[in-house]
């Protein structure tokens, strides 16, 4: 499978715990995005990377959230001291940046439930 893969697919955690999600993008894509989606809403932008550089982070994102892409390949998203409001689907997407092709390929997502 050469698509975007995310792990785990589901995560249930207690409030106050830390969680980390992983995203493996399509190998030749140098741009990687993290989005969050709640029921009935469109994906909400969190942050994105161009290779290993984190170029933008949403102003809505609290400092409990951090993302890395250490070698410009896979990425991790960590949420510290989780809150019930963090419950959502966390989507990763990757895209090429050559020419006019900016199509984003999404992974299946990680569904986080904070209890």
Partner 1 sequence: GQQVMQIPQYQHVQEGEDFTTYCNSSTTLSNIQWYKQRPGGHPVFLIQLVKSGEVKKQKRLTFQFGEAKKNSSLHITATQTTDVGTYFCADYDYKLSFGAGTTVTVRA
Binding site for partner 1 (CB under 8 A): 33, 35, 40-45, 48, 55-56, 91, 93, 100, 102-109
Q: Whole-angstrom Cα distance, residue 69 to residue 46?
A: 14
Which CB sits closer to partner 1, 1 or 103? 103
Which CB sits closer to partner 1, 14 or 100? 100
Q: Whole-angstrom Cα distance, residue 31 to residue 25?
A: 9
Q: Whole-angstrom Cα distance, residue 60 to residue 38?
A: 15
Give min distance, CB of 79 to partner 1, in A.
20
Q: Are 59 and 41 in contact (CB under 8 A)?
A: no
Which CB sits closer to partner 1, 56 or 78? 56
């Amino acid at each position: 499978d050469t698509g975007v893969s995310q792990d785990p697919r589901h995560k249930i955690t207690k409030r106050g715990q830390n969680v980390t999600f992983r995203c493996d993008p399509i190998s030749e894509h140098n741009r990687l995005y993290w989005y969050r989606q709640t029921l009935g809403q469109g994906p909400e932008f969190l942050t994105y990377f161009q290779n290993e550089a984190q170029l933008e982070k949403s102003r809505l994102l609290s400092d409990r959230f951090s993302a890395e892409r250490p070698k410009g390949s896979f990425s991790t998203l960590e949420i510290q001291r989780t809150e019930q409001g963090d419950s959502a689907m966390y989507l990763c997407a990757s895209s090429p940046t050559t020419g006019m092709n900016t199509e984003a390929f999404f992974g299946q997502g990680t569904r986080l439930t904070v209890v």
